[in-house]
Amino acid sequence: MDPIARTLEHERIANESKHWVRLVAACNSRCLFCLDSEAQDGKILPFDDICREIRRGREEKDATRVVLSGGEASLHPRFHELIRYSKEQGYTWVQTVTNGRRYADRAYFNRVVEAGLSEITFSIHGHTAALHDHLTQAPGSFDQIVKAMIRAVRDGRVVVNADVVINKQNVDYLEKIVALCAQIGVREYDLLHVIPQGEAWEHREQLFYDVDAYSESLRRVFRLGLNPRFHVWTNRFPVSHLEGMEELIQDPHKMLDEVGGRRMQFRRYLDAAEPIDCRHTERCPHCFIEPFCSALDRRVEQLRDGDVGIWWIGSRFELASLHPEATLLGVELPAGAALPDFGRPLYLKAEDFTGLSLPPHSVAVATLPEHLAQLENQACEVEIPLDRGMAAAVLADPERLHRNADRYILHGQTWIRMEESAANSPDYQAFFPALPLPLRTRNLPACLCPGMRLEKAPRRLDQHILHDDGRLAIDPIVEEYIESEYKAKSQRCKTCVVADRCEGMQLQYLRHAGFKVLQPLTGSWATQADARLKLLQPELPRGLAKGAPPQAPVVRVPVPGNRPVPEIDVVPGRRS
């Protein structure tokens, strides 16, 4: 299987609908990096409540996989009944994540496997008792987990895999930990990067380490994932260290789960400007979610400041009057429909521009090659979202654009799925050098569009990220972030002259094209691009290092007909 096919297979597995259900708020270990400790009060959750939650996963999410979790799920006295109940509800796969301690007992192991358990993920963090027991703060836990793993592998009835939280204590021994698992017969590993939440932040001195300093040894372990006999997941790991093994980058859609796990906090931030309790200049730079939290801050600021370049309503024309202050009204004209007179400049997508008369100062979006001819005699600007078809159309007749170069804007298009990005993205390294003259260009790092006239894309507000009462909708914001703002840079970017002002390239693109396409600027292009970006963005992006993160007041823009805020966002315990 080639790397892209393998990545797509990873993506398919990672995106299978899984329903996580908490059985207990208790654990028999006390891991130094526990993310769940704040939720643990020792409670065993009522059997009927858990059954209801198990059913909800089938009914509302149509999930076929359920993960029975805790705390430590095996502490629930009716664990085996809950496994059987999950199967009866139609789940085809029942997984648990465990510290493995109870599974050391043969009778216990047999009882849960006979009940229908499909997969056990063992959390092992050391290759010796001294290391593992120190990290779990549970003497004897290493012997128990190793015994349980050997039993589960030999038994053969369940899929067995391991997760390891990489931290300062064990990063030197990661190869040994993986070797121990391989010796036992485990071939699938989830290597998790420690994040500044829960107990992990309390024990930060012991746990956080300089990833750059360990990059090479970490890459040696990750490289095992390129061997088809092994399966390595790099959960929450800084992606710039995965150059050359991009297929190991976790699917950006995982961000939905990460944000989902904290959605009540995000909800309170968005609704009531209540600070997120972990938002802190020392803490956030260690966090995998940080770029999203910063994007969310920018989104809140945008609403507060009314900074809307495009109010995108698509074909919902009845929403046209909602953002009168937006520079452009974003409209999608259905095939054959007449263009209403909105009385303001448009950002217009249409299947056919023939005979359409756009208001002054409008922008037409040319998504098909024939649009270029249809728009040639219009007075409007023309944005060209670059895909392979449009790149070929531009190169077929570059003179058409150069005759009136100020009108045309090349836009680096992005796709939410890697598969779409791989199928549609143009070869930028061939495209831009083939253009005889510079053109206005947006949404690409300077190294991918050398010599072009760099511009900033207008800020867009899409009606679908708002609820009916005007509150921001969490999942659509995350999806929009994945599609257009989730970007990454190479380690090499540190040496690039524009590094401070460049966000890098969209991650889905880098997953198939590789970080190798990002090359620090050199020569006169470095000087030009640096000067241009300083002009476009005089202030450096507001980083956490500069002080307290922005906490904006609440601004609501009700959108009649949109979805109300879902219960899982506001009712505690609705999401496990």
Residues that bind ligand SF4 (CB under 6 A): 196, 276, 278-279, 283-284, 287, 289-290, 293, 445-447, 489, 493, 496, 498-499, 502, 504-505, 518-521
In whole angstroms, give the CA distance from residue 309 to residue 325: 9
Residue 71 vs 445, nearer CB to ligand SF4: 445
**What angle, rounded to 10 degrees, do the helices at 141-155 and 129-136 form?**
110
To the nearest whole angstrom, how small is the minimum distance from the Cβ of residue 109 to ligand SF4? 36
In whole angstroms, give the CA distance from residue 67 to residue 72: 12
In whole angstroms, give the CA distance from residue 269 to residue 345: 34
Contact 232, 181 (CB under 8 A): no
349: β partners: 332, 365
In whole angstroms, give the CA distance from residue 562 to residue 124: 45
Phi, psi of 141 (to 5 degrees): -70, -30
How far, CA to CA in Å, does 552 sit from each of 5, 123, 125? 43, 39, 40
To the nearest whole angstrom, how small is the minimum distance from the Cβ of residue 233 to ligand SF4? 20
Q: Where are the alpha helices (DSSP H) in 366-408?
A: 369-374, 388-396, 398-402
Residue 83 vs 239, nearer CB to ligand SF4: 239
Contact 53, 82 (CB under 8 A): no
Residue 126 vs 445, nearer CB to ligand SF4: 445
To the nearest whole angstrom, how small is the minimum distance from the Cβ of residue 204 to ligand SF4? 12
To the nearest whole angstrom, how small is the minimum distance from the Cβ of residue 262 to ligand SF4? 6
To the nearest whole angstrom, how small is the minimum distance from the Cβ of residue 246 to ligand SF4? 15
Residue 160 vs 444, nearer CB to ligand SF4: 444
Residue 311 vs 515, nearer CB to ligand SF4: 515
Residue 457 vs 499, nearer CB to ligand SF4: 499
Burial of 420 (0-12, 13-18, 19+ CB in 10 A): middle
To the nearest whole angstrom, how small is the minimum distance from the Cβ of residue 101 to ligand SF4? 30
Residue 407 vs 501, nearer CB to ligand SF4: 501
Residue 361 vs 516, nearer CB to ligand SF4: 516
Q: Could you tell me the two tokens for 301? A: 């600021």
DSSP category for residue 561? T
To the nearest whole angstrom, how small is the minimum distance from the Cβ of residue 21 to ligand SF4? 23
To the nearest whole angstrom, how small is the minimum distance from the Cβ of residue 135 to ligand SF4? 21
Q: How far is CA 571 from the centre of its chain?
A: 24
Q: Where are the alpha helices (DSSP H) in 231-332?
A: 254-260, 263-272, 290-305
